[in-house]
Each structure stands twice: as structure tokens, then as C-alpha cells.
Amino acid sequence: MSDGKQFQLDAEQQQLLDHADKYAREQLYPLAQRMDEEEWWPQHAFREMGELGMLGVTVDPRYGGVGMDLLSAGLIAQALARWNHAMALSWLAHDNLCANNIFQNGSEWVREKYLPGLCSGELIGALGLTEPGAGSDALGSMRSTARREGDGYLLNGRKMYITNGPVADIVLLYARTDPAAGNQGISAFVVETDSPGFSTARKLIKMGFRGSQTAELALEDVWVPRSNLVGTENQGVKVVMSGLDYERAVAAPISLGMAERALELSVEWAKTREQFGQPIANFQMVQAKLADMYTWIETMKVFIYQVLAASAAAGPEAAGHGRIHMQTAAAVMYAANMCNKVLDEMLQIHGGVGYLWETEANRLYRGNKLLEIGAGTTEVRKMIISQGLLA
């Protein structure tokens, strides 16, 4: 389905979206305010999602997964983000950045050891790539090291902005195994967070997505067995690139889900909020804002679905270069930019009440900037697209 002809979901895909939406609305939405106010994490949520088939979405059933494609994963992300975008982000880090990457690149031993727990929700996963002082240039500026020690490696360093960091059981973590080789001297490891020397240096307090736990991680002589190497030594860049494009493809629906909820809230508020003796929905300027929001969301939806379908058809070997590299960067960039516009109009429609911290509109609005920064900033996304065009 990479020919661009898929403009709407089929019956099975719509059923999946509705299934995830119902769960998120009934079970995760009631948790959203407390998660935001207290940066609280509901320990039971991932196990529930595992039982309902919303974890291990792209993982083969022989490892406990569901065996669906990236479009299916994107639909779950969209539904979760409608009702609890913080949980959607944690789900993305767990299911796509960690579980899917291990499935695509891990040895049979690593798959059999870790994927069943990740798919059931017994284990919570994270990705450990970014470091203090290393954001967009995460690979080139990486300082964490992994030195051979017996039948394994000693890992030292720090990781920054790690989604699920404070609650993760395992981290797919990158470190330099050959410092002299630049980006070609990086390796990927599955690291268990209860390993001696592994710690949460600090939990990070954020402006938005507050319920999604984020941390700086510290590694001080953390010993990891050679069997926990993901891919081959010094080939971590391949592991990164095989996952990053598809992270972007599945991250884009989070913007879509948040924008959909913002429009819903705005319509409800416009119908009930009265000024000058009538609902503000009667004013043409408000109607124009709602019309723009709807149009932006519908164009987001078509583009996101097309790129997800193309990514699913292309497979992991197409990641990191060519058309898929450009498309996924464009999809996540466009989705984040349009979501920002939708959320801005939502706050304008809500007026003063939208500026209050405790409102859902405010919670959504505070999340918008992360969507333009995470998984590569807007500027990095533009670089990827333009470099592809000029190649």
C-alpha cells in the first residue's frame, strides 16, 4: 500500500482504532489529570494493555506479540493520544523504540529472553540514546562507553531525556565500543535497570507530557553480558537507523490524536460558552477556526496513514535512506506543525479558561512543543527532506 491510494481505513483497521479508543477513553482518560498534576505513573496500565493486545503490536506472536504492522501500531498510538497523550508517549517508547527494535535486530536469545515480558507488560522498556549535551547529534556527540570485560562489557556514562527511564525494567542502550571509529564504533545493548551500577540520576520535571516518566540515567561500571548485544559490535548505527524512521512514523499519530481531542473540546466549548447573549459557536470567527482545525486534522490523517502504510510495506531494511527516510521525517514534521496550529486555535477558542493549568485544554497545549522536538527537531526533519530532494 505504498502507492498512495489508501485514503481511508478498512473495516479491520477501523475496528482496531475503535477498540483502542474505547479502552483509552474508559481506562486511561480518568488517570490523565492525576498523571499530569503529580507526574504519577499507573503501574497497572501496561499489563492491562498487554492483556488487550496493545503491546508487542509489531512483534511476532511466537515471542508473545500480536504480529500486526506499523499502520496498526500507529492507530493504537492515535487512540491513546486522544485520551491520555502522556501514556501514548510512554507506549511509543516501550513498544516501538524498545520492543520493535529488539524484535527487528536482536539475536534469538535476546528475543526469547525479553520480548515475552515486554509484550505482556510485565516488563517496561525504554530507549537510551540521547545524552547530556547530545541531542540532535546523538551519535556524533555520544560519550557513553562500553569496554570489553570478560565475557561482557562494562558500561559507563549518562543518558538524558529518557522516556520511561524512572519506571523501565530494561533499556535498549547505545554506547561506544570503539571510540576511535566515530559513529562506526557504537554498539547497542539490552541493559537491565536493576544491574549494579545502574541508577536514575534524576527524574526530570517537564512542562508537558508530565505523566510520561522521564529521567537522566547514570551508568557506573555496569556489566552487561555479551549475549545482550543487539546486532553486532560496532554496528549500533544500523540498529538506530532501522528504528528511527519507524519511530517517526508511529509518533506522528500522537499529534493526530491530540489534535482530534482538541477539536472535540473546542466544539463542545463553542456550543456551551455564551457571550453577548449567545453561544460563541454562532460567531463566524469561531466557526472559521473550527473549520480550519477540521481541515488540518483531515489532511494530517491522510498523510500519516499513507506514510504508515508505505513504511509497513517497505520493511525495516528501507529505513535510514531514500524515500521512507524522507516520508517519515515529513509526516512527523507536518503532524507536529499542524497539531501546534490546532492547539493554538483551541486555546484561543477557550480563552481564559484554557490558560488555567488544571484544564484539559491547557494540558494538551503544554504538550505541543515536545512534538516538534522529539524524534528529531523540526529543523532536523527539514534537513532530511531537503537532503533527499537534492541528492
Residues designated catalytic: 247
The C-alpha atoms of residue 301 and residue 258 are separated, in whole angstroms, by 12
Output the nine-digit C-alpha cell for 115.
Answer: 520480548
Distance between CA 176 and CA 178 in Å, rounded? Answer: 6
CA distances from 10 to 114, 127, 294, 303 (A): 33, 32, 21, 16
Report the chain's terminal Cα–Cα distance, integer Å.
25
Determine the 3-state secondary structure of 279 from DSSP.
strand
Strands (E), the chain: 125-128, 145-148, 152-163, 170-176, 186-192, 198-203, 214-225, 229-230, 274-275, 278-279
Whole-angstrom distance, CA of residue 99 vs CA of residue 25? 25
Query: CB under 8 Å to 81, separation ≥6 — which residues?
Result: 88, 253, 254, 255, 256, 257, 258, 261
Torsion of CA 124, 130, 131, 135, to 10 degrees: -150
272's CB contacts (< 8 A; 6+ apart) are 279
**Apex CA 56: angle with CA 51 and CA 59, to 5°?**
135
Cβ atoms 255, 371 nearer than 8 A: yes
Burial class from Cβ neighbours inside 10 Å (0-12, 13-18, 19+) for residue 268 reads exposed
CA angle 285, 290, 295 (to 5 degrees): 125
- Separation in Å, CA 85 to CA 45, 88, 163, 185, 219: 14, 5, 13, 36, 30
255 Cβ contact list (under 8 Å, min separation 6): 81, 300, 332, 335, 336, 338, 339, 371
